[in-house]
Structure formats: structure tokens, C-alpha cells
Amino acid sequence: QVQLQESGPGLVKPSQTLSLTCTVSGGSISSGSYYWSWIRQPAGKGLEWIGRIYTSGGTSYNPSLKSRVTISVDTSKNQFSLKLSSVTAADTAVYYCAREILASGFCWFDPWGQGTLVTVSS
Amino acid sequence: SSELTQDPAMSVALGQTVRITCQGDSLRSYYASWYQQKPGQAPVFVIYGKSNRPSGIPDRFSGSRSGNTASLTITGAQAEDEADYYCNSRDSSDNHVVFGGGTTLTVL
């Protein structure tokens, strides 16, 4: 059974770059027709899709974050990563990684990592 | 990009039926998927596609779509169904994802 686990600093200073890694266990990140996504959730608010990567390296990003986001994959480590530059307090959130399944007419996310809280503060 | 709109809060009496809706232009072209999130936990998907339930999700959960509105119906709500529910779909560009703002369901 595939499991995902986020890791990275829990505190980032304003204007710096937030960096998180998602480690996939229980299966190869390269197997199957899956995408690998990042999603965030500010405290008490809803979910926001940040972007996805395919193991070939192709990416898609939320237009509202596109100028600041980079998602990459390291298939040798079974990991994918998120970098979000020029962070502000508005980027404080729980960050989730998730496997995304794209089908004709719909998509869904399963499984999800447990989430990691990133706080932007000096 | 597209937006998905959900009622912020709903309530249902124990054992009764509740329909949680999600509206958006993208739903005319794409099915919604639905997630349940309990406090302090990651979301768990409960419905995907036309009305498919992953294994382990009770059959009291079902999904439907009409026009630009997707619905998650819980038939015979249980106390453990009290949670936040989110919808998502592919957006009109076909390349991105949108989430609804979430509905907090209270079981009375």
C-alpha cells in the first residue's frame, strides 16, 4: 500500500524559499499512470491545489502560484519536492503531498500524506 | 480559472439524509470527487467519478451530477460522518485542479 510522507522545515522566514519533500513508500513513484501533487490548507480554511508533476518531469501549476512554484521529482529516491519562493505570512499552511489520478472526465487524490505545518515568520 | 462553490455549513439529524452540493462551470464537463476531512487529519476521498466509492467507504455515501452542480448524498447519516467535506474537479482548462471551499457537516 502506497504511503506518502512530507518532510522539511516547519518555519521559514518571509521572502525566503519554502522547500518540502514527499517520500513515497510501498511502491515505485514511477509505476502506473499517476501524477504527484502538492496541496495546501491554511488554518481553518479550505484546500488549495499547488501543482503536480509526472515522473517524466512534466508539470502543471496553479496559475495563482505559478510564478513562485517549482515541483521536481527524484525517481532514484522515490521522492518529489516543492519549492515556493518569496514566501509571506499568507503562505502559512499545512502542506500535503498526494498521489493524483487523472481519468477521462475527472481526477482524484489518494493517498495523502499526513501533512506538515509550515509557518512563515521572522 | 474555474471556481467551485459549496455551502459553508450544513446539519443533519442522526439517521437522516443530507445532500451536500458543489457548483461550478467546470462541473458541466467534469465529474467531481469528494473528500471527508476530520479535525487534525488529512482528507480522505469518499467519491470519485460518476459515483464510485473506494473500498472501505460505506455505501451510504453516493454522488451525482446535474448540470453545473455535483452532489454528495449521505443516506442515514451517522455520528462519525461529522466532518468537513470538499469537492474537487479538473478545471475548464483541463490541466489544473480546483477545490470547493468546503462544507462543515454537523450531525445532530
Is residue B47 predicted with pLDDT exceeding 70? yes
Averaged pLDDT, B14-24: 97
In our burial notation (b when 16+ CB lie closer than 10 A, e otherwise), range A105-115 reads ebbbbbbbbeb
List chain B residues with CB under 8 Å of A48.
99
**Structure confidence at residue A56 (pLDDT):** 84
Share of chain A above pLDDT 90, in %: 90
Q: Do B95 and A106 touch (CB under 8 A)?
A: no
Is residue A32 predicted with pLDDT exceeding 90? no
CA distance B75 to chain A (A): 22
- Select from A16, A9, A6 the least CA-distant residue to A50: A6
More confident: A14 or A32: A14
- Select from A30, A51, A69 the least CA-distant residue to B98: A51
Q: Which of A52, A60, A113 is facing B42, going by the closest CB pair?
A: A113
Do A105 and A78 meet the contact criterion of CB atoms below 8 Å apart? no
Is residue B29 predicted with pLDDT exceeding 80? yes
List chain A residues with CB under 8 Å of B54.
110
- Report the alpha-carbon angle A64-A69-A73, nearest 5: 135
- Select from A47, A35, A55, A28 the least CA-distant residue to A108: A35
**Structure confidence at residue B91 (pLDDT):** 84
B48-96: pLDDT as tens digits:
988 899 999 999 999 999 999 999 999 999 999 999 999 999 887 768 9
Is residue A37 predicted with pLDDT exceeding 90? yes
List chain B residues with CB under 8 Å of A96.
42-43
List chain B residues with CB under 8 Å of A106.
30-33, 48-49, 89-90
B89 touches chain A (CB under 8 A): yes
Nearest CA in chain B to A45: B101
- Select from A119, A116, A117 the least CA-distant residue to A6: A116
CA distance B86 to chain A (A): 8
**Structure confidence at residue B2 (pLDDT):** 65
Q: Do A47 and B97 touch (CB under 8 A)?
A: no
A75-98: pLDDT as tens digits:
999 999 999 999 999 999 999 999
Residue A74 grid coordinates:
527524484
Share of chain B above pLDDT 90, in %: 86
Q: Do B96 and A100 touch (CB under 8 A)?
A: no
**Structure confidence at residue B94 (pLDDT):** 64
Give the highest mean pLDDT range of A57-61, A105-109, B41-45.
Answer: B41-45
